[in-house]
Chain A
């Protein structure tokens, strides 16, 4: 039976979940939103980060969040290398880079999936920490700590990245390269370096995001397919490249998923993000906070 309490509960959980979706979409907001890289392997990188966190947690008992921080530099370098390869093979050659790029990243995503399966098997994996599995009670409300942790870290991460992009020299350069690459070149800067750095940052953020992913719920090797919808939905709805928009769009998605889950059950959940994505693409392709008119 539908009740107001239930709805309120769904909205609260949805907002928390939404902030988490925001955190896992931030990297894509930079790589696809600002750099126009059709990065469909973004969710695969995310799941890979989760497995790295799982590995550190399982074998060395490292706290998942600390593990996330530890793998961040590795992912940064990984991102630098990945962008270099993408640039040399696609952007430099020009024609239909988008189409071949998306095929390329799908190939990369499949390779990552299989490598994870070969290494860890197809079973679900989760991490152990004090805040996983317990809940905070407030009257009738029951909010799992893992969601609260994800919410807090996600918010901090979004604020930090927004500040980085608006206050620091390199951050401003990244936004400049997205706005007008030729102008940046005329100022004597190297667009390739800036973009490579930006892609590195976008991938590094995935270290923390991957930790959040495995804190919120157990992961399996092909979880990335569900997150293609969620991350692209958030980034497109936000309007390409808007960080604060990313958070708002993610909260909208989180609340929508949570309400549908409560009213219709889990079997409809996978379609929500994709349906919203399709709706946004059809009705308002520039997104809610779009940079393009």
Chain B
């Protein structure tokens, strides 16, 4: 283990310990409700960047994966009363399969056509779920939470901790990919797919791998949301806002490094939580749009890029 990895895993352990202590000490429920959403977006943004950032395939289907995660939990709970870990694992498996299907799509289309196809996929799946009576149809469905397991006293606190675990998992995978040959291969195919293929990078296998990993994580992150809200309906589970928010967070943070999406998600997620409480959820979407436009126009490499440029200047000056 290198010093860098040591630091990373120590940080992850400290983070999880802090989250755990928080669930045991803090009595007020609100921080967990708000924190869950922010953690969820961190995990989504990190998972999204594996395909969207490293490989440069801009996936607008985050809401498709998220929604399928939600509804696979709904189905499992309604049909078998499945426990939370099983819900998450099942969602990850389904997400991996969906990712594979998405990977096959990349064979036929690239660039903006891929992006449009992922939007199309989202609406098609949403419509199918809307017409599936068993899981509630268009009206949505209520879900009963099972009793909470020790050492947690409250279900939302437990979900908060579970989501923190998912965040650490997603970040660890993303970091591993970036530092391994997979990440270098993905970056090569992002810069020039043909050149990468010619120099012996297995572009097809890498693309499929990125799609499967990203898809599995996105779906897994959606799975606990059914229990979090105790309710699911197709309109909100497949809301396009998830896709655009996730994309915005990654772009705002910067996709060149694994920490970019985390920074973006914390920044935008916290701002949105504050705005939702203090002003309204409409203004929330307005801020999302404005920040997306501002960063895409003014700082195409995101915050990571800005910091990099500042550092570069300093070193150049000295």
Contact = CB atoms under 8 A, between A and B. Distances in A.
Interface stretch (A66-74, A112-120, A144-152): A112-120
Interface string B267-292: 00000000000000011011011111
Contact of B289 (A99, A110, A267): A110
A38 B56 CA distance: 16
Contacts of A170: none
Contacts of A99: 56, 58, 111-112, 115
Given A93-B300, A278-B121, A111 B108 contact: no
A113 B244 CA distance: 14
Given A99-B58, A104-B293, A278-B124, A110 B285 contact: yes
A229 B120 contact: yes
Given A102-B112, A102-B115, A268-B131, A114 B286 contact: yes
A232 B112 CA distance: 11
Contact of B127 (A89, A102, A268, A285): A268
Interface in B120-144: 120-121, 123-124, 126-128, 130-131, 138
B89 interface: no
Contacts of B58: 99, 102-103
Given A267-B138, A274-B119, A104 B108 contact: no
Contact of B120 (A118, A267, A274): A274
Contacts of B130: 267
Interface string B52-77: 00001010100000000000000000
A85 B297 CA distance: 9
A100 interface: yes
B148 to A, nearest CB: 36
Contacts of A236: 113, 116
A89 B115 contact: no
Given A281-B116, A282-B105, A285-B108, A110 B288 contact: yes
A274 B248 contact: no
Contact of A103 (B105, B128, B292): B292
Given A103-B292, A267-B131, A114 B108 contact: no
A232 B285 contact: no
B117 interface: yes
Interface string A87-108: 0010001001011111110111
A232 B282 CA distance: 27
A103 B105 CA distance: 20
A225 interface: yes
B251 interface: yes
- Best-surrounded residue of B115, B119, B126 (most CB of chain A within 10 A): B119
Interface residue range, chain B = 35 or more
A118 B280 CA distance: 11
Given A107-B292, A110-B244, A271 B123 contact: yes
Contacts of B105: 282
B240 interface: yes
B124 A274 contact: yes
Given A110-B292, A225-B240, A281-B109, A103 B247 contact: yes
B307 interface: no
A267 B133 CA distance: 12
Given A110-B288, A271-B123, A104 B296 contact: yes
B290 A111 contact: yes
Interface string A9-44: 000000000000000000000000000001000000
Contacts of B240: 225
Contact of A228 (B108, B119, B126): B119
Contacts of B131: 267-268
A275 interface: yes
Interface string B136-156: 001000000000000000000
A174 interface: no
A277 interface: yes
A171 interface: no
Given A106-B244, A278-B117, A270 B112 contact: no
Contact of B296 (A107, A109, A113): A107
Given A100-B251, A107-B288, 12 more contacts: A89-B296, A96-B56, A100-B296, A103-B292, A107-B292, A110-B288, A117-B282, A232-B116, A270-B127, A271-B123, A271-B124, A278-B124
21 contacts: A38-B112, A38-B115, A99-B56, A100-B251, A104-B296, A106-B244, A107-B289, A110-B286, A110-B292, A115-B286, A118-B282, A236-B116, A267-B127, A267-B131, A270-B123, A271-B126, A277-B116, A278-B121, A281-B108, A281-B116, A281-B117
Interface of B: 56, 58, 60, 105, 108-109, 111-113, 115-117, 119-121, 123-124, 126-128, 130-131, 138, 240, 244, 247-248, 251, 282-283, 285-286, 288-293, 296-297, 300
